[in-house]
Structure formats: structure tokens, C-alpha cells
Amino acid sequence: MCEETIATLIKDIKSLKEQIREKEQLLAAHLKVQSNVPCKYSEALQTNEIARYSRQMLVDEVGLAGQISLKASKVLIVGAGGLGCPAAVYLAGAGVGQITIVDYDEVELSNLHRQILHSEDDVGASKVHSAYDKLHSLNRSIQIIPLKMHVNSASISQLMSDNSYDVVIDGSDNVATRYLLNDACVLNKMPLVSGSALQTEAQLTVYNYNNGPCYRCLFPVPPPPDTVKSCGDGGVLGPVPGVIGCLQALETIKILTKSDGVLAGRFLLFDGSTSRFRTATLRPRSPECAVCGHHPTVKELQDYEQFCGAGAHDKVVSIDILRSVDHINPQQLEKVLEDSLVVDVRDQAQYRMCHLPKTVNIPYGEILKAEGAKKFSDCLEAAGKREVYFLCRRGNDSQRALDHLKQVFSGSNVNFFNVKGGLEAYSHNVDADFPIY
């Protein structure tokens, strides 16, 4: 009964919020018409605008002219995540006239420590709508356009041919989207404020501005896919993208107000673990660059997933490198825990966070080395078991570990099995108390 009530309440609140959002959009449209009356004591701004933006207009870098520029500007923010959220907050606060925010994802509980526009009530809702609600309540006099869409060559081409953005902010989470946004910005002559973060480190620069390099000038060839780590795998401390998202807003304001000192042709590195910022001088725009050079070969947007050999998202794709007989379902795991060796191959940090009882932890990275294989055979001997089950977060690394050890111990009388879908599947199918992270 209680669960039913909770579910109904959640559903009702969601629908009411939807209604409120619609009514607010209507109200905003009406207010916009009504409030377009200039202040009789100012040449360009309204009374409340002068009061609201006075603190930044008093700064030389902005002034009246800068504020007018901000009001007339259009900014595209790609990604309503750890970078996009703080960037959007400061740009909305600063009075940028039109902010378009694009993301396809829905809010998850694991986003909340860094994606500061989303709150507990938004879990399950689309990120752009959650972002819209907060930004709109911060500043009703500007236009916020939430776009829930996949970012790909077709959608970005369309968006950029329909709109002329003064600045594009890259707050995305994958390599393919970074190349796509770079090329789109070069082809449409828009500066790209690019930030990225992982664990305790972050990077920031402005591409395609003031004769500075573009992303391809620096990185003509994409990195090998297995060298790229996502926040979901490597982790990230919330304030680290927070710092860079704030700086992306600052660089954007500087570009829009035509201030000197924009971080183009320079690369900022932030290491949160030592609280160190350093700025490096970059090469200029490369005449040989495939997209912004003298003889470009990239004249329209490409298939960037193919170019990078990786999907335009930061999700893990399931693999299947074993025969079906080598798998068991997580539902069968409980029965075998007593009589077999169950090896959890996640790294130590993940294992410590949560694990099934009666399992041993030998990280996949160790298994690939001689000492890991030795540790495995010691465990096997100590347990005196002939059946071994491999387990990990989603069921990919466990297959790789199994495949490797099966070769190392070929000819032995040990039977190897993989737990299909890993601990995520265990949580879905056996016990929802096991955390999905």
C-alpha cells in the first residue's frame, strides 16, 4: 500500500511539474512582450536589468556595452552535466539573451554530486528539462531553450544552420562528440569553449578563436578507444568539473564582451589533488589541419563514431567473447557460491564499495600480469575448488579475465564460467539492494 502511494505521488508530482513548466513558458512569453519597455533613464536597458546586472556592469570588462552584447548573444551548451550545469548557471545569471542546452540523457542519482542543476526530485526526468526549470527560476527575462536530442552530425548541422550561435560550449563526455563539435564550429565559424574533467584533473581551452588552433590542430588523430576513460569508470570529484564549468562561463562572457585575455592558443590544466593550475602555450592554427587548414579535406560533418572507433556516449557497450555454455545467469549465482570459487575482477575501489559475500577480489588489470595469475592459482588451491565463476560490474571484464586465465591454465581440470551481465544484472534480477552505480 505504502509503495503504491509513493508511486502515485511521484507520478502526480511529475505531471504537475509538467503543467507548471508549460504555464511558466506561457507566462514568460507574455512577460517578455510586457517588459520590453526601456528604462527612460537608460539608453538601452530596462530598470530591473540595470539593478540585476549592475555588479558585473561596474567591471571594466563588461560595462554597458558588454551587457548589451550579452543580452543580444546566443550560446549553445552541449551537455547538461558536470560542466554544462555550472556553465549554464553563470551564463543565465549574467544575462546571456538566449541559452540553448542540449542533452539526451535522463538524470541519475549518480549525477547529483556534480551536476548541480539537478536535484533528487529530477531523477528519471530529462536533464534538459530539469536544467530549464532551475535556469528559468534564476532568470525569467532570458530565453532558455531545452533540447532533448542526440548530438550527431545531422542534428548539429541542422541546429547550426537554423541558428547562429556566438559561442558553443563543449560539456560533452566522449571523444566522438568532441570532434563533431570542433568540426561544426570550424565550418560555421563559431568559437568553441572546451572543457573536460576526470577524477581530480581537468582541462580547458578555447578552440577556433582569434587564429588559435582547433581541436584537430592539436589532435589530428583520435586516441585509441581503449585509452579513453569515462567518469562512470574512472570517477570524478564533483568540484573538479565544477571549477572548469565556471571557467567555461567566464571564457564565454569574455568572448561575448570582446574582452582581451581569452584562453585561445593556451591550454589550462587543473589538478585538484594538488590545487595547481598551470597554463601552457599552444601551437597556432595549423596550415595542414584537415578542417581549419589551408586545404581542408573535411568540408562537411562526418560519421564521428566511425572516425573515433567509439560511440558518441560514455556508456559501456556489452561484449560477448565466450561460448554461451560458459555463461551462467546471476539468478544461478546463489546456488554456486558455497561450492565454487567466485572471483570478482573489479578494481579494489569498486570492490570495497560493495561486493557479494564469499567472493574474492582479483582485479582484471592484475590478472593480465603474472602476479595476478599466480594469486588466482593460490586462491584456487586454498579453496580446493574446480569450478570458478567470474564476476564484474557489467559482465565484460569478467569475460576478458576468464578468456585470459583459461588460456594460461589450459590443460588444467578447472571449469571456468562467466556471470552474465555482472553485478548490474544481479541487482536487476536477484536483489535490488545491491547498488547500481
Partner 1 sequence: MDIKLEFGGGAELLFDNQKQYKITLENKKTPWLIGDLLFWMKDNLLKDRPELFLQNDSVRPGILVLVNDTDWELMDTVRYEIKPNDSILFISTLHGG
Q: Which residues make up the interface to partner 1 (CB under 8 A)?
A: 79, 81-84, 170-175, 178, 195-199, 201-203, 218-224, 226-231, 234, 236, 241, 267, 269, 271, 278-283, 314, 369
H or E element at residue 118:
none
The catalytically annotated residue of 85, 185, 308, 392 is 392
For the chain, the residue count is: 437
The catalytically annotated residue of 231, 246, 308, 379 is 231
C-beta of 214 vs 419, nearer to partner 1: 214
C-beta of 86 vs 395, nearer to partner 1: 86
List all residues 6 or more positions away from 409 whose beta carbon is below 8 Å from its beta carbon: 373, 377
CB of 198 to partner 1, least distance (A): 4
Query: Is 2 one of the annotated active-site residues of the chain?
Result: no
C-beta of 120 vs 226, nearer to partner 1: 226
Q: Is 36 annotated as a binding residue?
A: no
Q: Is 214 annotated as a binding residue?
A: yes
C-beta of 236 vs 423, nearer to partner 1: 236
Q: Is 127 annotated as a binding residue?
A: yes
Query: Is 354 one of the annotated active-site residues of the chain?
Result: no
Q: Is 292 annotated as a binding residue?
A: yes
Residue type, 435: P
Q: Is 82 annotated as a binding residue?
A: yes
CB of 132 to partner 1, least distance (A): 19
At CB < 8 A and 24+ separation, what contacts does 152-161 make?
152/180, 152/304, 152/312, 153/180, 153/301, 153/302, 153/303, 153/304, 156/180, 156/181, 156/184, 156/301, 157/184, 157/300, 157/301, 159/76, 159/100, 159/102, 160/184, 160/187, 160/188, 160/190
The rounded distance, in Å, linking the Cα atoms of 87 and 329 is 44
Other C-beta atoms lying within 10 Å of the C-beta of residue 374: 11
CB of 221 to partner 1, least distance (A): 4
Half-sphere exposure of 68 (CA within 13 A, CB side): 8
Residues with catalytic function = 231, 392
Binding-site positions for ATP read: 82, 103, 110-114, 127, 173-174
Binding-site positions read: 82, 103, 110-114, 127, 173-174, 214, 217, 289, 292
